[in-house]
Amino acid sequence: MYGSGGPVVSFEFFPPKTDQGVENLYATVQTLKPCRPSFVSVTYGAGGSTRDLTVELVTRIKRDLGVEAVAHLTCVGATKQEIHAVLTRLADSGIETVLALRGDPPRGEDKFVRTEGGFAYANELIGFIKREGFPFCLGAACYPEMHPEAVNADADLDNLKRKVEAGADFLITQLFFDNQDYFAFLRRARSAGIDLPITPGLMPVTNVAQIERFTKMCAARIPHELLRRLRIVEQDPAAVVATGVYWTARQARELLDRGVPGIHFYTLNKSSATLAVHAALGL
């Protein structure tokens, strides 16, 4: 896909907590299917808590909806043997791509702890998948504004290089709202010899309190101008969505005009804002 010449447009979803939520998710994917996404991805849940559901969702999305699906996989709460079993299930289900991540600590814990017999870092997981001979294309995460646990930007870039050297094939960024952060990161990555596709991850704002919570968790920055606009309209939900769509569409247009390999949309399992951005871009 990344070698095809056109932008790789992808949508990210998370596993719902209820049966109705699962059906709503399939309806959302159906709604977004006319956008002809290159792929959709499904996250692994906090603490690896949705392992079975993630496998089920990506399998069904690819098999029943005919949309290429990427499974997230984390190191959280799993031994090597358990991870091997999940990878085997994914391969047997026809899944071809895995986004390999360390993952966030389980809910209620503020520090990641290696599971006995498991992995502590994404590069270890990537190396394991390669050594075990699984045929997956492997994606990894990167952080334009630095991973919240990194001691500094150079150490963060060193960690990324370890993932690339272990066998990552492409990279997707954490969400960001200022394109200059992405381009500065891209320059640093290229200077460090990282030549993989680095796809920007964008999230249209649909709720002010929610995006403030998300950005605090992942140490991303809301630019002053965007926050100012959101504060003006935060009592009007429709105006908040319109503001978020406008900002993300403007971001995406500049990124595409400057030759990024694609756009990865964090959808929050909703279709309307992502559809609006997609339409505004004329993709």
Residue 149: active-site member:
no
Q: 224 burial class (0-12, 13-18, 19+ CB within 10 angstroms)?
A: exposed
Please tell me the distance from the alpha carbon of residue 46 to that of residue 174, in angstroms, as a whole number: 16
SS3 sequence, 21-75? HHHHHHHHHHHHHHHCCCEEEECCCHHHCCHHHHHHHHHHHHHHHCCCEEEEEEC
Residue whose C-alpha is closest to residue 57's, from 13, 102, 104? 13
Distance (Å, whole) CA 15 – CA 40: 13
Distance CA 59, CA 42 (A): 10
Q: Which of 12, 68, 124, 145 is catalytic?
A: 12
Q: Rounded to an integer, what distance in angstroms lies between the CA atom of residue 113 and that of residue 7?
A: 37
Give CA angle at 20 (16, 24), nearest 5°.
70
Q: Are 95 and 82 in contact (CB under 8 A)?
A: no
What are the phi and psi torsion angles at 55 (to 5°)? -60, -45
Measured between alpha carbons, how far is 97 from 99 in angstroms, rounded to an integer?
7
The single residue listed with the structure tokens 């959709």 is 40
Catalytic positions: 12
